[in-house]
Chains A and B, each alone.
Chain A
Amino acid sequence: MLLVLVLLSVFLYNIGKGYTLLLDNKDIELPGGTAKALAMVEVQVDNEEPIELYPRDRDMVLVNGKSHTISITAYNKSFAEIGSYKIRFKLREKSDMFLLSMPALAAEAEDWISPFSPQR
């Protein structure tokens, strides 16, 4: 009985825990050189409203639970699609906020996602 309750609450905690994902479209330094901000990128996390980001834009989405999918479609200055990526990912690190870098993602770099802590 008690065990069930505990498990249930752990479960609820996991699926209920809310995270803030910062979607960021800035130049970013990567091991393999700088990834330039994308001229325009359309981002969709899970089934939330798609968001359009222009260079140096930053937007945020609120999500529940750890595992999510993000799909982005990048465009060039003339709004021609230059590629789209779809990635399922888990939020491993212990943090309430994560920074998702679109350029890095587009560049298929490793650390396109990193925990983020707002300076108090």
Chain B
Amino acid sequence: MKSVEKKKKEQQSLPERFILLITEYPVPALFIVISILAIPASGFSVGYLTQELITRLVRNSFLVLSLIIPIMAGMGLNFGMTLGAMAGQIALIFITDWGIIGLPGLFLAMILSMPMSVLFGYATGKILNKAKGREMVTSFILAFFANGIYQLIVLYGMGSVINIGSDALVLSRGYGIRNAVNLINVRQVMDNLVPIKLFGINIPLATFLFITLLCVMILWFKKTKLGQDMRAIGQDMAVADAAGIAVEKTRIIAIVISTVLAGIGQIIYLQNIGTMNTYNSHEQIGMFSIAAILIGGATVSKAKIGNVFLGVMLFHLMFVVSPMAGKNLIGSAMLGEYFRVFVSYGVISIALVLHAWKRLKEQERSRAGLQGIATEEARGSEA
């Protein structure tokens, strides 16, 4: 495919290429249009918006990046990343309780989150292997289920079974973590590590470097044997299996990696915000991240790093702008609020529908490709 399209592009004049671009990436195009319309309506200054975007990029990119590898391994959108987020939050609770301050605290939290993420990821992988072909709905429900377990641990386990010293954390009833945890100890420590200001916009360089590091890692990972195996499995599990690639194991690894990254991502996300809603912060993350990467032009079966950043920017641009735009246009901020919720879910729905559609078409094509082959013999009809 690719090379063919490239050839096409070379022959095309600019406008043609532009149209091709739109037809290739309808979702991002749509969102660019929405933003172009909404920004003036919102009446926000460019400076303000850029600052907002920078902040959102810092907050969310890492989380969204965690989605790429499962997509590569053909496991669709990993709604199970929520489990990683939970691991991250539990880790943060601990370091807050122990009063570990600053960058060491942040990194300690990351390290702490890893074993938990690995565990959760492993479980998720196992379960998804039992539900091949419907990974997404399964991981989606799994996220809800895990949320129950998480509450069980944090709301009932912590302070009673698991020892939590600090009064600031534990509810007055003596066990269970408070709704809001103040992360003052690690608040924006990474963002402010190398603070630089350009035209009155402060750019958290350190965090950006950290994110870049991850991007490099992912790009490099695609070049490894493991990465190659994942791509193979992503395209055709049966063939990969026939070639002796450990399909199930590899799928589990893909999910584990994703979960670990999600955990770290959640920590970065929260250090930027500075407070943690113990029982909500993780819930929305999955949905927002997925919506973002899709808006960035990724599909259920194909995602590039570019999609992540474009997506985060477009999605959050809309997110920031729509309430004000709604207020100024229809005189109702609520409308804007609901609009962005609608868009988040709408875009996911659309992406999923398009994917399913394509899959059906491909099935038909592959059937056509089989023509002339003796399917009986293939089935081993003697048996």
Let me know if B111 and A18 touch, CB within 8 A: no
Output the nearest chain A residue to B95 by Cβ-Cβ distance. A16
Let me know if B104 and A16 touch, CB within 8 A: yes
The proximity string for A residues 1-33 relative to B, scoring 1 for CB distances below 8 Å and 0 otherwise, is 000010011001101111000000000000000
B112 lies within 8 A of chain A by Cβ? yes
- Count B interface residues, CB 8 Å: 16
Complex Cα distance, B102 from A12, in Å, reads 10
DSSP class of B's interface residues: helix, strand, loop or mixed? helix
- Count A interface residues, CB 8 Å: 13
Let me know if B107 and A18 touch, CB within 8 A: no
Q: Which residues of A contact B102 (CB under 8 A)?
A: 16, 64
The proximity string for B residues 96-133 relative to A, scoring 1 for CB distances below 8 Å and 0 otherwise, is 00111111110110011010000000000000000000
Let me know if A9 and B111 touch, CB within 8 A: yes
Complex Cα distance, B107 from A5, in Å, reads 11
A120 lies within 8 A of chain B by Cβ? yes
Output the nearest chain A residue to B185 by Cβ-Cβ distance. A18
Complex Cα distance, B33 from A98, in Å, reads 60
Output the nearest chain A residue to B107 by Cβ-Cβ distance. A12
Q: Which residues of A contact B236 (CB under 8 A)?
A: none
Query: Which of A9, A12, A18 makes the CB contact (< 8 A) with B99?
Result: A18
Output the nearest chain A residue to B105 by Cβ-Cβ distance. A16
B167 lies within 8 A of chain A by Cβ? yes
Output the nearest chain B residue to A6 by Cβ-Cβ distance. B111
29 contacts between A and B (CB under 8 A): A5-B111, A5-B114, A8-B111, A9-B108, A9-B111, A9-B112, A12-B105, A12-B108, A12-B111, A13-B100, A13-B104, A13-B108, A15-B104, A16-B100, A16-B101, A16-B102, A16-B103, A16-B104, A16-B105, A16-B108, A17-B100, A18-B99, A18-B100, A18-B185, A62-B101, A64-B101, A64-B104, A96-B99, A120-B167
Report which A residues bind B (CB closer than 8 A): 5, 8-9, 12-13, 15-18, 62, 64, 96, 120
